[in-house]
Amino acid sequence: MTTELVANDALTQLYREHHSWLLGWLQKRAQCRLQAEDHAHDTFMRVIASNGVHDIREPRAYLITIAKGLLINHWRKSAIEQAYLERIAAYPEALMPSPEENAIILATLQEMDDLLNQLPTKVRKAFLMAQLDGLTYVEIGKQLGVTDRMVKKYMSSAMLHLLTTTF
């Protein structure tokens, strides 16, 4: 039997034995059954993409790890969307973005969030404090418990990451 057939058999067995259980687990945490079904599907798509189905020792723990990551990403994206929609709700109608502009803005905000979440915690915090709060490096250093020189390194690291990732 070829390794591809063995992997397909292992994936089929994993799906048959754990899909219903995973769907139930997700339903308890997701907002609706359709969302749970989407996350279950995406979980198994990630398993397929990993090409390591035959190496899984604890299938439920493995599936939960993937599913939790998907849920967290979903909740984070939903929070970004909700915050954006709440913010523009205060705009006068004449300044409201079109549906197409809203879609572009939301996609951009989510892409920025993904990029920022790739940064180490202190680097991300320093960058956001400087960009959003307008704090000086000395003020940021005091809040993070580091020197202003370290904050400068954090900012350089953040800028380099954002520039090299987006271009």
6 with 71, same domain: the answer is yes
88 with 50, same domain: the answer is yes
Q: Give CA 149 to chain center in angstroms.
A: 30
**Pure H helices in the chain:** 3-29, 33-50, 59-88, 99-117, 121-132, 137-144, 148-166
**Domain end: 96, 130, 149, which one?**
96
Task: Supply the pLDDT for residue 35.
Answer: 94
**Domain end: 96, 127, 158, which one?**
96
Residues of the chain with pLDDT under 50: none
Mention every residue, 6+ apart, whose C-beta is less than 8 A from residue 97: 88, 105
Q: Are 63 and 47 in contact (CB under 8 A)?
A: yes
Residue 109 inside a domain? The answer is no
Cα distances (Å, whole numbers) of residue 35 to 17, 19, 38, 39, 111: 21, 14, 5, 6, 21
Residue 138 inside a domain? The answer is yes
Task: Supply the pLDDT for residue 105.
Answer: 94
Residue 163 inside a domain? The answer is yes
pTM, whole model, 2 decimals? 0.70
Task: Supply the pLDDT for residue 156.
Answer: 96
Distance between the two ends of the chain, CA-based, in angstroms?
45
Rounded to whole angstroms, the Cα distance separating 66 from 49 reads 12
79 with 136, same domain: the answer is no
74 with 128, same domain: the answer is no
Residue 132 inside a domain? The answer is yes
What is the domain extent for residue 41? Answer: 1-96
Q: Are 96 and 88 in contact (CB under 8 A)?
A: yes
Task: Supply the pLDDT for residue 165.
Answer: 83
Structural domain count, the chain:
2
Domain containing 145 — which CATH number?
Answer: 1.10.10
Task: Supply the pLDDT for residue 2.
Answer: 57
